[in-house]
């Protein structure tokens, strides 16, 4: 009989334990990543870029996908480039490293792209860096992400 009560008590306490652990693990609510398009002018001012998560809020650990848009002005005419003209990376400048995997870019429509294979393996400050090549110039747009 005592054993049955103990088992029942353990079952009741289990969700509470899980909940406590869950507070330490970053969740979708903890990540201050945007859920809609976020626009930034490129660092040298020649184009605009935007990004948003494609598969739900960004969090530490799992691979995720994002979408990006490029335009000549903010939310203006699309800047239509081949996927090979775009290099995307995310770096943690304070730790002097980037991601542990290489993302892949797919062109969805003019100026609109999907990036698969993103993964943030650490909590902290990340920079999402988009390098747009229009030979002979390459120009960077970047976004700050605090996980």
Partner 1 sequence: MILPTKALARVFHEDVPQAQQPGSWQGSVDFDPADNAVALSRKATSGKSSKGARGLRRGPLAKLGVRVHEMSGLGLVLLLAISAPTAFAQEESGATSEHLGLYSRTIRKFPRPVALSYASDGTLWVADHSGLVQGLDSSGGLVTSFMGPQGGVGGLALAGNESLWISVPWEKAVGRYSKIGMPTGALTSPNPDSPRGGFLEPRGITTFKGHVCVVDAGWGRLDIFKSDGTWQKSIGEGLLKNPQDVCIDSLGRYLVADTGNSRICAFDVEGNLITTFGEWGWFPGLFSDPTAIEAQGERFYVADRENQRVQVFDLQGTPIYRIGMHAILPREGEGTLHYPTHLALRRDGRELALIEPMDGRVQIFGMGLGDAPPKKINRPTDRQPAPHYGTHWDMGAGYLAIPEPETHSIRIYDLRNVEKPEPGQQAGTPTLVTEVGGFGTRLGRYTQPGGVFIGGDPLTLLVCDTGNGRLVETKLALSQEDPLGFTLVAARVQRSLDLAALNETDEQLQRPWTPRPIDVERSADGTTFLLCDLGREIYVLDEFWNLDARFGATEEHPWKHPVAIAWQESTGRLFVCDEGLGRVHVYDRQGHWDSELGEYFLKRPSAISFDKQGHILVIDRGVSTLFTFDDKGSVLRQQGHAGIDRDSFFGPTDVDVNEQGHIYVLDHGNHRGMVFDKKGEWFHAFGSRLYTKPARLPWTIEKNDTEESE
Helix then strand then coil, % of the chain, to nearest 5: 20, 40, 40
User: Which of 14, 44, 75, 108 is the binder for partner 1 (CB under 8 A)?
Assistant: 44
Could you say whether residue 137 binds partner 1 (CB under 8 A)?
A: yes
The encoded tokens of residue 67 equal 């979408």
CB of 57 to partner 1, least distance (A): 24
Residue 35 vs residues 52, 110, 127: alpha-carbon distances, Å = 6, 22, 17
Judged by beta carbon, residue 67 or residue 139, the one nearer partner 1 is 139
Alpha carbon distance 125, 74 (integer Å): 25
The position carrying tokens 């970053």 is: 26
Could you say whether residue 43 binds partner 1 (CB under 8 A)?
A: yes
Report whether 104 contacts 119 (CB < 8 A): no
Alpha carbon distance 85, 82 (integer Å): 5
CB of 131 to partner 1, least distance (A): 5
Number of chain positions touching partner 1 (CB under 8 A): 18
Binding to partner 1 in span 78-117, by CB under 8 A: 87, 89, 93-94, 96
Could you say whether residue 15 binds partner 1 (CB under 8 A)?
A: no
CB of 59 to partner 1, least distance (A): 22
In the complex, which residues of this chain contact partner 1 (CB under 8 A)?
43-44, 46, 87, 89, 93-94, 96, 125, 129, 131, 135-140, 142
């Amino acid at each position: 009989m005592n054993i049955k009560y103990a088992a029942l008590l353990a079952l009741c306490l289990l969700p509470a334990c899980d909940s406590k652990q869950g507070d330490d693990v970053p969740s979708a609510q903890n990540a201050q990543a945007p859920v809609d398009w976020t626009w930034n002018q490129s660092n040298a001012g020649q184009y605009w870029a935007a990004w948003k998560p494609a598969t739900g809020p960004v969090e530490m650990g799992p691979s995720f996908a994002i979408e990006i848009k490029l335009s000549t002005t903010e939310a203006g005419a699309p800047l239509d480039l081949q996927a090979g003209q775009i290099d995307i990376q995310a770096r943690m400048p304070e730790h002097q490293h980037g991601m542990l995997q290489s993302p892949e870019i797919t062109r969805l429509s003019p100026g609109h792209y999907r990036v698969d294979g993103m993964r943030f393996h650490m909590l902290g400050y990340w920079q999402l860096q988009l390098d747009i090549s229009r030979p002979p110039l390459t120009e960077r747009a970047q976004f700050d992400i605090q996980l």
